[in-house]
Amino acid sequence: MTIEIRRASIVDWPAVWPLWQAIVSAQETYMYDPFTSAEQAQRIWFPDPPAETYVAVDTGSVVGTYLLKPNAVGPGAHIANAGFMVAPATRGQGVGRQLAEHCLRRATELKYVAMQFNAVVSTNTGAIALWKSLGFSIVGTVPQAYHHRTNGLVDIHIMHRTL
């Protein structure tokens, strides 16, 4: 698999939407309403600057995406936040790691001083292992903050890494 990671534009949305919809509707990793419309999801995943959206493309198909943005506004805007989605068919093939490494480089280029993930679902062990391997630490846990479709109420972790 040869992955090209590039800045997304609105013309990529039709390829991103099925991926976004599948992941969100699974109710295993994201705190978005599983009934979010395509129009609402587009506004979430393709927001105005300073946010940046990227896609991972393999032989013309979008196999992953990430959204990089400030974690907060004003005095908190120096901390980055990001969300990642990988097509289920390509999980375990390094797409997530490539997206993560690209995102960390881009966040550094944009002069963010750290990256914070606000809601890593505790049952998402693959993501937790990836983030830990890239230097992230769990800095907090919110008990039973996520209603997982099959596991019921599970914890979420706040993860952080200095850039």
pLDDT in tens, 54-111: 999 999 999 999 999 999 999 999 999 999 999 999 989 999 999 999 999 999 999 9
Cβ–Cβ under 8 Å, residues 23 and 30 = yes
What pLDDT digit, counting tens, does each position of 142-153 carry? 999 999 999 999
Report the CATH number at residue 38. Answer: 3.40.630.30
Helix axes 13-25, 38-45, angle to 10 degrees: 100
> Given a cut of 90, is residue 46 above it in pLDDT?
yes
What is the reported pLDDT for 1? 80
> Quick one: which of 50, 57, 53, 43 has its CA closest to 5?
57
> If you average pLDDT over residues 131-145, what whole number do you get?
99
What pLDDT digit, counting tens, does each position of 95-122 carry? 999 999 999 999 999 999 999 999 999 9
118: domain range?
Answer: 3-162
| pLDDT classification of 47: cutoffs 50, 70, 90 | very high
CB neighbours of residue 141 within 10 Å: 12
Q: Tell me the two tokens of residue 39.
A: 């129009």
Q: What is the mean pLDDT of the chain?
A: 97
Residue 34, preceding peptide bond in cis (omega within 30° of 0)? no
> If you average pLDDT over residues 126-153, what whole number do you get?
98
| Contacts (Cβ under 8 Å, ≥6 apart) of 121 | 28, 29, 127, 146, 148, 154, 155, 156, 157
What's the number of domains the chain is made of? 1
What is the reported pLDDT for 7? 99
| Contacts (Cβ under 8 Å, ≥6 apart) of 47 | 67, 69
